Amino acid sequence: MRILVVDDSVMDRKIAGGLLSNHADWEVHYAVNGKEALDQMELHMPDLVVTDLQMPEMDGLQLVQHIRENYPLIPVVLMTAQGSEEIAVQALQQGAASYVPKKRLARDLAEIAERVLTASGQERTSMRLMNRMRKNEIEFVLENDLSLVHSVVGFLQEAVSRVRLCSEADQLRLGVALEEALVNAFYHGNLEVSSSLREEDHREYYELAQRRSKEEPYKDRRIHVSAYISPMQAVYKIRDEGPGFDPHNLPDPIDPANLDRPCGRGVLLMRTFMDDVQFNPAGNEVTLTKRRVDDKDHTGEAEQAED
């Protein structure tokens, strides 16, 4: 295993490097700041980066941000000194794997490095496995229950992230589109609560939905969710058991005259954030397709996982 220790202090570099060199399988390399660390990473990819936070040229936080964006599978462990707690919190939020206070290096550094390397190895293996997945077919039949339908969006986003079909931002957009389709199925499809009621009385809209969720025939209706996910595209079908609607009858949500009306924004978001959106003739099932886009944002992980 190759470990890159980054610190502008000669003494701290030697201490950290010495502790890590005690491990027979670990080869330790050094850089004096974030910029030099990145130069070295261009030449020889490390398995782990252990970095100080406060350094000239490029500090530890900037280094973490750069590694997260360009080498997302390389874990970073922070060495924190007194006074750097705030920046350490930011670095952890940015994706650093762990931290060790400098005064506890002797006791904790090797153990934490080992733990992080093990976890990173497992993640890399899992990604290699996902690179070999050809398809993933998922099907749910859900009661008209808000907590379940909320969970299914997270599950489907996670399933797409495993095959790295799209960037993180596109996964958020996918989440918006799926939620909109499920909102339609829940409120307008199964509970038959109309947007026009929301225009008249916002609170009554939600109260009617709540009442109907306990009444026949609405309460027994289900939401059917299926997903076909491959490395090239994800196709989702979301069907409710209501009477359906005609999407052509929706008012244009971007017409300035409609800005103060509740109309068609969910379908607009679906159409914008997915590559294709089709309703069945009955209007109670929508098929949403997201296709693979190869860009720098998310192919880096795949390339690293192939190593």
Nearer to other proteins, 132 or 203 (CB): 203
Under the criterion CB under 8 A, does residue 274 sit at the interface with other proteins? no
Under the criterion CB under 8 A, does residue 147 sit at the interface with other proteins? yes
Which range in 90-98, 101-109, 181-189, 211-219 contacts other proteins by CB under 8 A?
181-189
Which residue from 7, 47, 179, 285 is in contact with other proteins, where contact means CB under 8 A? Answer: 179
- Polymer length of the chain: 307
Under the criterion CB under 8 A, does residue 257 sit at the interface with other proteins? no
Nearer to other proteins, 81 or 183 (CB): 183
Under the criterion CB under 8 A, does residue 180 sit at the interface with other proteins? yes
Under the criterion CB under 8 A, does residue 288 sit at the interface with other proteins? no
Please state, as a whole number, how many other Cβ atoms lie within 10 Å of the Cβ of residue 183. Answer: 14
31: left (phi over 0), alpha (psi -120 to 50) or beta: beta
Paired with 140 in beta bridges are: 225
Which residue from 1, 159, 250, 268 is in contact with other proteins, where contact means CB under 8 A? Answer: 268
Shortest distance in whole angstroms from residue 255 CB to other proteins: 9
Nearer to other proteins, 71 or 273 (CB): 273
Nearer to other proteins, 52 or 179 (CB): 179
Shortest distance in whole angstroms from residue 74 CB to other proteins: 24
The backbone torsions φ and ψ at residue 80, rounded to the nearest 5 degrees and listed phi first, read -105, 135
Tokens representing 149? Answer: 């339908």
Please state, as a whole number, how many other Cβ atoms lie within 10 Å of the Cβ of residue 84. Answer: 21
Under the criterion CB under 8 A, does residue 211 sit at the interface with other proteins? no
Under the criterion CB under 8 A, does residue 142 sit at the interface with other proteins? no
Which residue from 122, 272, 278, 280 is in contact with other proteins, where contact means CB under 8 A? Answer: 272
Count of residues engaged in binding other proteins, rule: CB under 8 A: 31
Indicate the burial class of 98 (C-beta count within 10 angstroms; 0-12, 13-18, 19 or more): middle
Under the criterion CB under 8 A, does residue 24 sit at the interface with other proteins? no
Separation of alpha carbons 206 and 17, rounded Å: 61
CB 14 within 8 A of CB 20: no
Q: Angle at Cα 105 formed by Cα 104 and Cα 107, nearest 5°?
A: 70
Under the criterion CB under 8 A, does residue 214 sit at the interface with other proteins? no
Under the criterion CB under 8 A, does residue 175 sit at the interface with other proteins? yes
Under the criterion CB under 8 A, does residue 266 sit at the interface with other proteins? yes
Q: Which residues inside 190-209 make contact with other proteins, applying CB under 8 A?
A: 198, 202-203, 206, 209
Under the criterion CB under 8 A, does residue 189 sit at the interface with other proteins? no
Does 217 sit behind a cis peptide bond, omega within 30 degrees of 0 on the bond before it?
Answer: yes
Question: Of 229, 226, 233, which Cα lies nearest the Cα of 135?
Answer: 229
Return the SS3 of 227. strand
Shortest distance in whole angstroms from residue 195 CB to other proteins: 9
Residue ranges binding other proteins (CB under 8 A): 146-147, 149-150, 153, 169, 172-173, 175-176, 179-180, 182-183, 186, 198, 202-203, 206, 209, 253-254, 256, 259-260, 262, 265-266, 268-269, 272
